[in-house]
Structure 1
Amino acid sequence: MTTTTAATPPADRLASQSAFVAYVLKLCENNKNRADLRSGLGRPVERSNYMHRLLVPRLMDEEVHHRDARRAHYAVASLIAARPRAARDADAQAAEEAAEAGPPQDSARVTEWWNRPNLGASLAEAVNKKFIKPDTAEADLHLMARQSSDAIHIRLPALTRQLLDKGVTVDWAVLLHDLTWWNRDQDRIATRWLESYFRVRTRDLPDHDELSSTPEENH
């Protein structure tokens, strides 16, 4: 039976995932740290030896000892470390703005979380900006919806790099949550990616446009 835990994460877990991302972003201000974290890009935890000195002291929570959670944290840390320079600068500015604004109230934290972009929303943004073709983005989403986390981990370095190179936001904390729970709540998370994709596509289209291909593309 699919649990509801992944669909409605408690505020303390959301805070923990966001804090981990902030920790990695801080680590990446040091070139050696960033290189060590980037060395695990696309690799399983067992082949990410240079990452351990930086992540093991942080990942002491019992829940992170679960294989999926541990791999998700290592994967997201390596993806953050592999960001292009423009994305690093944008993240630094966003962190400063968030620090000035202060943390949200506990009652608003979960609601705000679901308004943040997941992978489906990021792909929709890329399509709306004409960086990726709609058919390509939708095919990627439908393929990932059927795949195991192992296959998604292999795909993520190229996909996130493609998005970041075009200035499209990837919310690392949301991705961390989804990767952590993928094998235990795949259908629910995949549905949320697809719903977010079409919601953002529809929101940014002119009223007279449609999501479907043009007649010429259908022939």
Structure 2
Amino acid sequence: MAPHLPSHHSREARKPGKVPAAWCAAFSTAVLDHQRLISRARLSCRQAHRPVQREGPMTDVADTASPSASDPAAQPAPRHEKLSGYDTFVTQVQQACLSPGVQQALRAGLGRPLHEIPARTFAALLRRGLVPDHVYPADKRAYYAVASLIAARPRAARRADAPARGDTQLDEHSDVSAPAVPPVEMTLTSKSTAPEKASWGTSLGESLAGVSARRVSAAEPTHAVSTSADPHKVSGVEQRLHLLVRQDIDGLHRMMPGVVRQLNSAGIPVDYGRLLHDILRWPRWRDETTLRWLEDYYRTRRRTERPA
């Protein structure tokens, strides 16, 4: 029922400069009632357009679940197609290092600039055609550096490559340059499997975070108080990473043997294909690469050190 408003013909309404109190109260009440009606109408419209929730899960829970939960034998996400050529190179070098002569020749170029690499190191790679012909001269150093890092691995890690080929030792002149699957077919396989979930492998920052996590877990039983006393204290691994990301390409090559040696000593596997990719990008996209290493390091640290 609409409120009764005083007539404008009343005596109080005809007085200039004075608004009747009753008229103001009635007008305020009418405005409030009108606002309540509008709010109710809007609420009714929202409820009418709200989607009806069906019984059962609406989201694809099976797709978001981890592969190990649904299938214990599920394979990890396929590698990104841009890493296939680098992975092929790494696999060929690993197989070539089964020959002691090739392994020693490649190890001789560890940490050296391109003009100081021995001739036998060049021969060990070029004789088998392991370095692609289309590589720019400025990028060849990255291939020789990664090959030397692979050859400098501990003996146990090198022996682990033998069962994949079924050989315990290869001749120095054995040809291992032909990959089992051509790069084009590897690319098509990755696309057809899960192109939207392709993996970029493990960056060096994530691998270094594994070293820090193992040191923290090893120190917890006896030094639990000291490790948690100063959470902002920078560890030795973290300091090395901070120094590494500030290097130019020459400094990166100088530090890389020591970093990889530290990872090997801690039992942390190195993704040499991803490492080759990042070293090749360093001269032109160093800032992007270093940011990714730092993000992967601290993201992995938070995930591994999160309390249960």
* Same fold at TM > 0.5: yes
Q: Once the 2 structures are TM-superposed, how far is the Cα of residue 118 of structure 1 from its aligned partner?
A: 1.0
Residue in 1 that maps onto 2:208: 123
What CA distance in whole angstroms lies between the structure 1 residues aligned with 2:122 and 2:196? 31
Q: Which runs of 5+ in 2 are unaligned?
A: 1-78, 167-179, 219-232
Q: Once the 2 structures are TM-superposed, how far is the Cα of residue 27 of structure 1 from its aligned partner?
A: 0.5
Deviates more, 1:137-146 or 1:25-34: 137-146
What CA distance in whole angstroms lies between the structure 2 residues aligned with 1:198 and 1:109? 27
Q: Classify the secondary structure of the residue corresponding to 1:146.
A: coil
What CA distance in whole angstroms lies between the structure 1 residues aligned with 2:268 and 2:163? 15
Q: Once the 2 structures are TM-superposed, how far is the Cα of residue 110 of structure 1 from its aligned partner?
A: 8.1
2:182 aligned with 1:113: no
2:136 aligned with 1:50: no
Q: Do the aligned residues in 1 keep the contact of 2:208 with 2:263 (CA within 8 Å)? A: yes
What CA distance in whole angstroms lies between the structure 2 residues aligned with 1:189 and 1:205? 24
Identity %: 39
Q: Which runs of 5+ in 1 are unaligned?
A: 1-8, 209-219
Q: Classify the secondary structure of the residue corresponding to 2:287.
A: helix
The Cα offsets for residues 43-91 of structure 1, whole Å up to 9 and x where unpaired, read as 11222121111223222432x1231x20110000000000012322445
Q: Classify the secondary structure of the residue corresponding to 1:167.
A: coil
Q: Once the 2 structures are TM-superposed, how far is the Cα of residue 10 of structure 1 from its aligned partner?
A: 7.3
Q: Do the aligned residues in 1 keep the contact of 2:209 with 2:301 (CA within 8 Å)? A: yes
What CA distance in whole angstroms lies between the structure 2 residues aligned with 1:204 and 1:20? 32
Deviates more, 1:76-85 or 1:136-145: 136-145
The Cα offsets for residues 96-150 of structure 1, whole Å up to 9 and x where unpaired, read as 9xx9xx9683224684432x21110110000000089952122222222221011
Question: What is the number of residues matched between the two proteins?
Answer: 192
2:136 aligned with 1:36: no
Q: Do the aligned residues in 1 keep the contact of 2:80 with 2:199 (CA within 8 Å)? A: no
> Larger RCO: Structure 1 or Structure 2 (Cα < 8 Å, ≥ 6 residues apart)?
1
What CA distance in whole angstroms lies between the structure 1 residues aligned with 2:155 and 2:112? 22
What TM-score, normalized to structure 1?
Answer: 0.78
What CA distance in whole angstroms lies between the structure 2 residues aligned with 1:24 and 1:71? 15
What TM-score, normalized to structure 2?
Answer: 0.56
The Cα offsets for residues 179-212 of structure 1, whole Å up to 9 and x where unpaired, read as 111011000000110111011111111327xxxx
Task: Let me know the Cα RMSD of the aligned residues.
Answer: 2.8
Residue in 1 that maps onto 2:92: 23
